[in-house]
Structures are given as structure tokens and as C-alpha cells.
């Protein structure tokens, strides 16, 4: 029952995402047909045009490009936060159909690990106890012909590891990064969002050039709840 760690992969995305978004924007303003526009977009650098479009607030064209991530080593606590972003598609490992009796992994919060070896050992013992309770209920329910995984999972903790695939379009990703890369976001989803942003920037640098917490583009949107570290945060995301 090992502690697990975050792993994120960008497994798929719209081919030529920046060209697709640029094509959508040009179509709105041009008399030319789609084939002529496609040729024009593919033969010229669209970076400056996309930057102008995004600065003007014409964000709907960004919805034409989507990105799909495989995520492992995250907790069910993170899942509860992530699925609040409703303009997204999720496929999550089922605790109803997948037994965790022999394969129960967990996430340890850094704050608990920082307390030292004794605290980490105590946390691990608590995880093992919950795994034992789960296995016990699974056995008792199975003996009565009940759906053992379905009800035994009620004793599992939020720390329980899960894995998932998530797809978002560019516009929703920008919103997601603004909220979840913020230093006031919970540590685990902040780490996930930051890694997703790093992968997106490698694939579509123009679309995600200014992506990240709101303080990258002006005053902190958290107001009086600001962390007060805008300079350090801007430096961090500039180097991402």
C-alpha cells in the first residue's frame, strides 16, 4: 500500500490547435471560403493574429481546440474539486467495479510528511486500518451475495488514490488555470493545474502564453485574500 505521486500526460489534443483557433477567428471576419482561409492560415505565422484575438476578448474561437490528459496519483479529494469544472469530460477509475482490497494506494499531504517520520508512520497506519476495514466489509457483504465493492467503499478515505482522463477545451483550460494555479488553491489541484499548463505551453505556446493565476495579467483577483506574492508567482510562471 504505497504512497503515490502525481503523474500527468497530455495524451491527445486537436491537431494544429493554434491554426484551428486562428481559422475559426478569421472565418468570422473574412469573405473568403474555408479552403482559401485554411491555405492562408497554414502558410503564415498566426501568432500575432491570435494574440490580438485573445486580447480583444474573442474567446469563443478557443473552444475549437481541446486537450486530453491522463492523470494518476491523485486523491479522491482532488477529484471532488476537479469535477466542479463542468465544461469538461471525465473518465474515472470506478471504486464500484475495481476492488481496492489488494491495491489500495494513498496520497500523503506534504504538511503531514513535513511533521516527520513518526507522523508519516502514524498516517500510514491509519491508511492500513481503513484498508483492513474495507476488506472486512467486502468479505462480509460478498458472503451475503451483496455488491461488496459498492458498499465497502464507504469506509475509504479521501486520501485514496484514483486515476482519470480529463478533456477540456482551450477556453475552459484558461479559466481552470486562472483559478487552480493560484497560490490560494488547494495544494494538490494546484500541482495538477501547473503541470497541465506546462504541457499545454509546450504544445500551443501562443494560446497559453499568458495562462496561469489571475495575478499574471494584473492585480490579484483575490483582493484582501491575496497571498501578496505576485512578483514571485509571475517569475515562476514565466519560467514554467
The catalytic site residues sit at 180
* Reduced DSSP (H G I as helix, E B as strand, rest coil) percent helix, strand, coil of the chain, to 5: 55, 15, 35
- 115 contact partners, CB below 8 Å, separation of at least 6: none
Q: Tell if the pTM clears 0.95, that is, is over it.
A: no
Strand partners, 167: 68, 89
Q: What is the pLDDT along the chain (240 residues), one digit of tens a residue?
A: 566 789 999 999 999 999 999 999 999 988 889 999 999 999 999 999 999 999 999 999 999 999 999 999 999 999 999 999 999 999 999 999 999 998 899 999 999 999 999 999 999 999 999 999 999 999 999 887 767 899 999 999 999 999 999 999 999 999 999 999 999 999 999 999 999 999 999 999 999 999 999 999 888 999 899 999 999 999 999 998
- Of 135, 147, 192, give the one whose Cα is nearest residue 1: 135
Cα–Cα distances (Å) from 203 to 25, 67, 100, in that order, read: 20, 10, 36
What pLDDT is attached to residue 30?
87
DSSP H/E element including 13: strand 7-13
pLDDT at site 195: 98
Give how far Cα 44 sits from Cα of 39, 56, 84, 208, 216, Å. 9, 21, 39, 20, 29
Q: Are 2 and 108 in contact (CB under 8 A)?
A: no
Pair 95, 156: CB distance under 8 Å: yes
Amino acid at each position: 500500500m504505497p504512497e503515490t505521486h502525481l503523474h500527468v500526460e497530455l495524451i491527445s489534443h486537436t491537431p494544429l490547435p493554434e491554426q484551428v483557433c486562428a481559422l475559426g477567428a478569421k472565418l468570422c471576419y473574412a469573405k473568403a471560403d474555408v479552403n482559401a482561409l485554411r491555405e492562408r492560415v497554414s502558410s503564415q505565422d498566426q501568432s500575432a493574429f491570435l494574440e490580438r484575438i485573445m486580447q480583444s476578448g474573442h474567446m469563443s474561437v478557443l473552444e475549437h481546440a481541446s486537450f486530453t490528459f491522463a492523470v494518476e496519483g491523485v486523491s479522491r479529494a482532488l477529484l471532488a474539486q476537479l469535477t466542479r469544472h463542468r465544461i469538461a469530460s471525465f473518465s474515472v477509475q470506478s471504486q464500484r467495479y475495481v476492488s481496492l482490497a489488494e491495491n489500495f494506494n494513498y496520497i500523503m499531504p506534504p504538511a503531514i510528511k513535513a511533521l516527520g517520520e513518526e507522523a508519516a508512520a502514524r498516517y500510514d497506519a491509519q491508511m492500513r486500518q481503513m484498508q483492513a476495514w474495507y476488506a472486512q466489509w467486502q468479505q462480509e457483504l460478498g458472503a451475503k451475495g451483496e455488491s461488496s465493492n459498492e458498499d465497502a467503499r464507504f469506509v475509504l478515505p479521501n486520501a485514496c488514490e484514483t486515476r482519470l482522463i480529463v478533456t477540456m477545451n482551450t477556453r475552459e483550460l484558461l479559466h481552470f488555470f486562472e483559478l487552480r494555479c493560484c497560490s490560494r488553491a488547494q495544494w494538490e489541484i494546484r500541482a495538477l493545474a501547473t503541470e497541465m499548463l506546462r504541457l499545454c505551453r509546450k504544445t500551443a505556446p501562443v494560446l497559453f502564453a499568458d495562462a496561469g493565476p489571475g495575478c499574471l495579467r494584473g492585480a490579484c483577483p483575490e483582493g484582501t485574500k491575496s497571498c501578496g506574492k505576485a512578483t514571485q508567482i509571475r517569475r515562476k510562471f514565466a519560467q514554467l
